[in-house]
Amino acid sequence: MNKIFSALAIVSAVVLVSCGFNKEKSDAYGNFEAKDYLISAEIPGRISRMNLDEGQLLKQGDTICIIDTTDLFLKKAVLIAQKAAIRSKMDNSNAQAEVYRQQKENLIVEKNRFTKLLNQKAATQKQLDDIEAGIKVADKQVTTALSSNQSITAEINTLEKQIAQINESIKKCVVLCPLQGTVLEQFMEKDELAVSGKPICKMADLAVLYLRVYVDGTQLGSFKIGDQVEVLVDKDKNETRPLTGIVSWVSGSAEFTPKIIQTREERVNLVYAVKVKVDNTDGRLKIAMPGEIKIRK
């Protein structure tokens, strides 16, 4: 009988310990990650200046690097010279048209004078007709002189658009930081050739980190976007530090766990990824640091 009571006591102790352990056990485990982004140059060219170091904190609008603009400035200078040459043609046309207009005005004065003389029988009709013919010729000469202005204006507009395009390209040669963040990796150095689409660096805003955890199907119903959960990180070997997190993303599909499947039994274990947003303005949390969460009930 004593043996039976002893056995029952041991079982009861084990159950109590197990219950106490499960009560403290976290609901999910994972690692912290950051929302990183790649910075690339829009304009290809040699990097003439680099203002970048790994681990450096950059503010929005800070200069990351500058692409050499020599070729663009030379192309712009050529277009400006072409525009000036074409505009001089228009100036010549306008000057020539002004000469013909002045000739027309002089002929009009002569016409008025000869009209009076004709009324006084002091001039002939032929003289008046010749003057009127000269006025018509002057009108045609003005029209001819100005006829090329429309095509010249179109050429000037085309060149101005090309100059504006080069100005925009020159502006893009200064690669600016789009968001405040920390430089995680630097892929290029000064004097290297930047290519469109090839990243110069990788950045992330470390003021906010995301704890990616995995939960099974039975736990999935306890998570929804916007929920507040308790996040635990290691304080020392024996204690954890509690933080507050917000569920920001829940996977819509399951995946196998672990990632490297070793046995057939493990292949039936499906889990769902969940991201928890955690404030890190104090900088204590690091990328890849382990963490765990508890659902607040």
Q: How far apart are CA 82 and CA 158, in angstroms?
A: 11
Quick one: CA dihedral 237, 240, 246, 249, positive or negative?
positive
Which residues, 6 or more positions from 118, have their beta carbon under 8 angstroms from its beta carbon? 124, 125, 127, 128
Give the DSSP letter string of 128-170: HHHHHHHHHHHHHHHHHHHHTHHHHHHHHHHHHHHHHHHHHHH
**158-200 pLDDT, tens per residue?**
999 999 999 999 999 999 999 899 999 999 999 999 998 899 9
257: pLDDT confidence band, cut at 50, 70 and 90? low
**92-120 pLDDT, tens per residue?**
777 777 877 887 788 788 778 777 777 77
Q: How far apart are CA 261 and CA 150, in angstroms?
A: 74
pTM above 0.85, yes or no: no
Q: How far apart are CA 133 and CA 113, in angstroms?
A: 16
151: which 2 tokens?
A: 């095509």
The mean pLDDT value of the chain amounts to 82
The answer to whether 46 and 193 are in contact (CB under 8 A) is yes
Q: What angle do CA 176, 200, 69 make, to 5 degrees?
A: 60
